[in-house]
Structure 1
């Protein structure tokens, strides 16, 4: 089980994660990515049926802004 969130300070708004996994990622009005399932809190596990798309986006993010963890991210952690 994995949890994910986007380090928004590292995101360059390239659009790749949303193209690869539109069910998981979206963009703010400024074009910065965030995880849709928990509004980038990193406390909801990636659904099993979306794991492969998540992993593809995670591996292809040019800045490494997509983070992953095997437990929920602490509140407020970037």
Structure 2
């Protein structure tokens, strides 16, 4: 699965980081980023973490997280 984050849409609610802390982190301003890859906007998600990413995307109020099954 490929995941895309759109920081410009992020409203800094922190929900994604609460649901999937192994995938999502946030800047000092609270804007979403990938753990270990602060400049990346796309990342491959391992199978064992995909359900958390899907849940994060579904619950993101600003639709700043997208995913695509491959």
Q: Same fold (TM over 0.5)?
A: yes
Taking structure 2 as the reference length, the TM-score comes to 0.85
Paired residues for 1:12-23 under 5 Å:
12-23=11-22
- Cα deviation, residue 70, structure 1: 4.4
Question: Deviation string for 1:33-52 (max 9, x for gaps)?
Answer: 1122543331x310111011
What is the alpha-carbon root mean square deviation over aligned residues?
Answer: 1.6
Greater percentage in helix? 2
Q: 1:63 aligns to what SS in structure 2? A: coil
Equivalent residue, structure 1, for 2:61: 62
Greater percentage in strand? 2
Taking structure 1 as the reference length, the TM-score comes to 0.77
Equivalent residue, structure 2, for 1:49: 48
Aligned length: 69
Paired residues for 1:16-31 under 5 Å:
16-31=15-30
Q: Which runs of 5+ in 2 are unaligned?
A: none
Consecutive aligned runs of 4 or more in structure 1 exceeding 6 Å deviation: none
Q: Which runs of 5+ in 1 are unaligned?
A: 72-78
